[in-house]
Chain A
């Protein structure tokens, strides 16, 4: 493209807490409207907020995981705007003393490390939800306050992204981090993870930012990517025509696949932030920060690198393994039992375990084959051969039995005894003179045919390596 695109992203993640940010109401999704409300989250006259310590802790954890500078003195601010789903017509949020500032997310784009800087991480309360009746002639709307007061974390990047691929990668990386550290379930279909994007274009090489357009209410990663692509086209054609990009906020219409103006800069909200007088400032001591740091598991990017460096897994495979924390945990549990087979374990997980999980729509934690069982299978494999190992795996899935038990029950141990195999080889050669003749004529298929015949007799248990050797020796002596 003629222009360089500059993109920043705001991510809203609902925190995974039992109760709301300022009251004891449940945060459960999908209940009957207005059944999870109380005077506090309804913003009735006279009520006061009380901070949910877990929500605060999860915010701190996220800020630490995103390498933010932690504001040890943290305060909340009121953000004022009028909307019927906002019970108090202000949202208790953070503006002057965010819990974290100046962090970053590292990610890998096309094999290269990229760092996206985080402007700030802050905690706020969710608004309720407007419910519009389906009938087109209805002259009312309803408000459901079940969601009002659910703790919401906002993660704001610097305008650091330069392509749609980077945005996609950032969203996935961030989502992964949030899942890894267990702060949000990130269920986009339930609105637990939402995005707002800002996008501007400029001439390549320019250091000045172009006029930026903000797009709100993006409920899926797909929508983010679509709207950005749409905006790049829209804005570049405007620029091509010598027109100006307006500073404005637009809404994405998923049905018509267009963005539409919501408001221009002139009617932009003045949120009139000021410190929330109903909450006392929070002092986060160093001990709390240290404890939080210790509680943060190794993040996907580091884990992926470690799998490559220390466990001889390919970068591609490491990427797949670390995409889901529980899968990576599963792999590590296997490796803890049998480190020398790490490469092979990784193959099994990526090829066989994942296929089963996908087919059965299961999480790895619920998978019938435990890490120990998978390790046993890998360990017993040399004695049964690859193809039988696959059958044993299928049997394990079906019966839940361990590999050694299956191998024993079905007597699947590979025949390694050379003299025993030799007898069979001799017999097969006697019985198949045509094939022997073909082999002498240089037909490669003949050997495979003879090995196949032998496998039939041994029910596949013959060690194929030894078998091949034996045939080659014997057949060459015959042809001489």
Chain B
């Protein structure tokens, strides 16, 4: 087994016991990236020299017998919307093509304090807007399972890099399914945490009330390890929550006997691809055979999810992206010297079509006379959706459904049809609306050999339960052993 194929848990173990050196892991990863990323385009920036230097530093620490962090010497890839001090952070946009933030995100500091190595910044849909990693200014990322297919989005780079063993672990962000859908398309695990569980400080905002930073893992255990490092209240993020962080790893593998699992009928509705439905229901059967109690249920308000989500998210986009006007940190057009014209031209040049579309939509939804019927109405729907989820959790420990109605689609297939693209988020966005956590875990391959993801959804701050069920499932199905051949 190549060093780049290992999971975080194995890598840390081997490095700590001096079986291997961090330098060797980094070298192995960098070679892998150099070899295959031309095909995938999963990275926007790779830190060759810095990673080697840091690996040497970690190895020295080990040699000197210094205390080591939970991620000692492990290469981690970071979605390019998370600020890393003095390194280019682009958000996949021309607007920030040359932007180097003067500070690091809280999650970066947490990773570094656990001795992780930031190996590179991964490709993404521009400003996290898209569902396929195709809207990036730096070109589309491809799916390692099939290079004609999308890796999913928006954290497509982080998912593809991990699935293709270009990194040991990776971090993305999830606003409407942006880690879960690519995880399902690429056959890796991703956990979208409760809103407020992980600090957003330093995450370049797409839709602030929905954005979460989220870990990917080759295994459920890796997600647990990263969750442990990333979680917790941050005084720099008022929306982060001071809630006890359990020891996630200790919950792994525990019995799931008598656990009540609900299957919302809305998650198995008309638009679903039969392969997906079959794989997910097969996964559910496995859980049933392990002692879980399965029951069908319904959350009727979910049908309003797509419009309510896109009104909320685009409204926030129109405001969050207002700061990019070419004055201090973003692309400035050279075509004009007039102030207002310069704002307009800089924005028109700097943003791609999907971002422009969402800014226009959101500006409209917040306009005088429309606020009540659009934005405010969407917030009311949001409350309805959350209440329905919370009611369901009175009855069930978790809910299960697919992550996406279909496996990875072809590049170019939906990019010119925004509505079709938006519909691909149908099973993930309402979870962000409710602020609850959900894990995406591989549950089989489609007839075309593409990964399919199962989604386990829990109530607020119940990440531990999701990791437990996913770990039990993983153990009994060996799903994480399926890897792409690239």
Interface residue ranges, A against B (CB under 8 Å): 39, 42-51, 78, 80, 82, 84, 87-90, 139, 143, 270, 272-274, 277-280
Which among B203, B319, B363, B371 is the interface contact of A46 at CB below 8 angstroms? Answer: B203
What residue of chain A has the Cβ atom nearest to residue B203's Cβ? Answer: A46
Quote the shortest CB–CB distance from A269 to chain B (angstroms).
10
B239 touches A139 (CB 8 A): no
Task: Type the 1/0 row for B171-196, where 1 means its CB is closer than 8 Å to any CB of A.
Answer: 00000000000000000000000000
Q: What residues of chain A lie closer than 8 Å to B202, measured between beta carbons?
A: 46-47
Which among B102, B201, B204, B209 is the interface contact of A277 at CB below 8 angstroms? Answer: B209
Q: What residues of chain B lie closer than 8 Å to A43, measured between beta carbons?
A: 323
Q: A46-B205, A47-B201, A87-B328 are in contact. Are A82 and B366 (CB under 8 A)?
A: no
Q: Does B391 contact A (CB under 8 A)?
A: no
Those 8 A-B pairs whose CB atoms lie nearest each other, nearest first: A89-B322, A277-B209, A277-B208, A272-B366, A45-B204, A88-B323, A46-B204, A46-B202
B101 touches A44 (CB 8 A): yes
What residue of chain A has the Cβ atom nearest to residue B239's Cβ? Answer: A280
A272 touches B83 (CB 8 A): no
Q: What residues of chain A lie closer than 8 Å to B420, measured between beta carbons?
A: none
A274 touches B208 (CB 8 A): no
B91 touches A278 (CB 8 A): no
Quote the shortest CB–CB distance from B281 to chain A (angstroms).
37
Query: Which interface residue of A44, A45, A47, A51 has the most chain B CB atoms within 10 A?
Result: A45
A50 touches B327 (CB 8 A): no
Q: A47-B201, A89-B325 are in contact. Are A78 and B319 (CB under 8 A)?
A: yes
What residue of chain A has the Cβ atom nearest to residue B95's Cβ? Answer: A45
B99 touches A84 (CB 8 A): no
What residue of chain A has the Cβ atom nearest to residue B364's Cβ? Answer: A272
Q: Does B258 contact A (CB under 8 A)?
A: no
B201 touches A51 (CB 8 A): no
Q: What residues of chain B lie closer than 8 Å to A78, measured between beta carbons?
A: 319
In whole angstroms, what is the CA distance A270 to B318 when docked?
A: 13
Quote the shortest CB–CB distance from B442 to chain A (angstroms).
31
What residue of chain B has the Cβ atom nearest to residue A89's Cβ? Answer: B322
In whole angstroms, what is the CA distance A46 to B237 when docked?
A: 11
Q: Chain B at the A interface: mostly helix, strand, loop or mixed?
A: loop
B366 touches A49 (CB 8 A): no
In whole angstroms, what is the CA distance A90 to B324 when docked?
A: 12
What residue of chain A has the Cβ atom nearest to residue B379's Cβ? Answer: A275
Quote the shortest CB–CB distance from A247 to chain B (angstroms).
15
Task: Type the 1/0 row for B93-112, where 1 means its CB is closer than 8 Å to any CB of A.
Answer: 00010010111010000000
Task: Type the 1/0 row for B207-238, where 1 means its CB is closer than 8 Å to any CB of A.
Answer: 11100000000000000000000000001111
B105 touches A46 (CB 8 A): yes
**Can you sample 10 A-B contacts with CB below 8 Å?**
A39-B102, A45-B324, A46-B83, A48-B239, A50-B237, A78-B319, A82-B322, A143-B327, A270-B368, A272-B371
Q: Does B463 contact A (CB under 8 A)?
A: no
Task: Type the 1/0 row for B31-71, where 1 means its CB is closer than 8 Å to any CB of A.
Answer: 00000000000000000000000000000000000000000
In whole angstroms, what is the CA distance A458 to B91 when docked?
A: 94
Interface residue ranges, B against A (CB under 8 Å): 81-83, 89, 91, 96, 99, 101-103, 105, 200-205, 207-209, 235-239, 315-316, 318-319, 322-325, 327-329, 337, 339-340, 343, 363, 366-368, 371, 375
In whole angstroms, what is the CA distance A43 to B204 when docked?
A: 11
What residue of chain B has the Cβ atom nearest to residue A276's Cβ? Answer: B208
Known: A45-B96, A274-B315. 15 other contacts (CB 8 A): A39-B101, A45-B83, A45-B205, A45-B329, A46-B201, A48-B201, A78-B319, A84-B325, A84-B339, A88-B323, A277-B239, A278-B205, A278-B239, A279-B238, A280-B239
In whole angstroms, what is the CA distance A274 to B474 when docked?
A: 43
In whole angstroms, what is the CA distance A39 to B85 when docked?
A: 11
Quote the shortest CB–CB distance from B338 to chain A (angstroms).
11
Q: What residues of chain B lie closer than 8 Å to A47, measured between beta carbons?
A: 201-202
Q: What residues of chain B lie closer than 8 Å to A88, measured between beta carbons?
A: 322-323
A89 touches B366 (CB 8 A): no
Which among B238, B323, B363 is the interface contact of A278 at CB below 8 angstroms? Answer: B238
A42 touches B203 (CB 8 A): no
Quote the shortest CB–CB distance from B66 to chain A (angstroms).
31
In whole angstroms, what is the CA distance A395 to B96 when docked?
A: 71
In whole angstroms, what is the CA distance A78 to B316 when docked?
A: 10
Q: What residues of chain A lie closer than 8 Å to B201, measured between beta carbons?
A: 46-48
Q: What residues of chain A lie closer than 8 Å to B235, measured between beta carbons?
A: 50
B323 touches A48 (CB 8 A): no
Q: What residues of chain A lie closer than 8 Å to B82, measured between beta carbons?
A: 46
Quote the shortest CB–CB distance from B241 to chain A (angstroms).
9
What residue of chain B has the Cβ atom nearest to residue A43's Cβ? Answer: B323
Q: What residues of chain B lie closer than 8 Å to A82, measured between beta carbons?
A: 322, 325, 340, 343
In whole angstroms, what is the CA distance A143 to B329 when docked?
A: 14
In whole angstroms, what is the CA distance A278 to B204 when docked?
A: 12
What residue of chain B has the Cβ atom nearest to residue A39's Cβ? Answer: B103
Quote the shortest CB–CB distance from B177 to chain A (angstroms).
19
Q: A44-B101, A278-B238, A280-B238 are in contact. Are A270 and B367 (CB under 8 A)?
A: yes
Quote the shortest CB–CB distance from A431 to chain B (angstroms).
89
Q: A46-B101, A48-B236 are in contact. Are A274 and B322 (CB under 8 A)?
A: no
Q: What residues of chain B lie closer than 8 Å to A280, measured between beta carbons?
A: 238-239
In whole angstroms, what is the CA distance A139 to B340 when docked?
A: 15
Q: What residues of chain B lie closer than 8 Å to A42, measured between beta carbons?
A: 328
Q: A143-B327, A277-B209 are in contact. Are A48 and B366 (CB under 8 A)?
A: no
Q: A45-B96, A274-B366 are in contact. Are A90 and B236 (CB under 8 A)?
A: no
Quote the shortest CB–CB distance from B15 to chain A (angstroms).
31
What residue of chain B has the Cβ atom nearest to residue A22's Cβ? Answer: B238
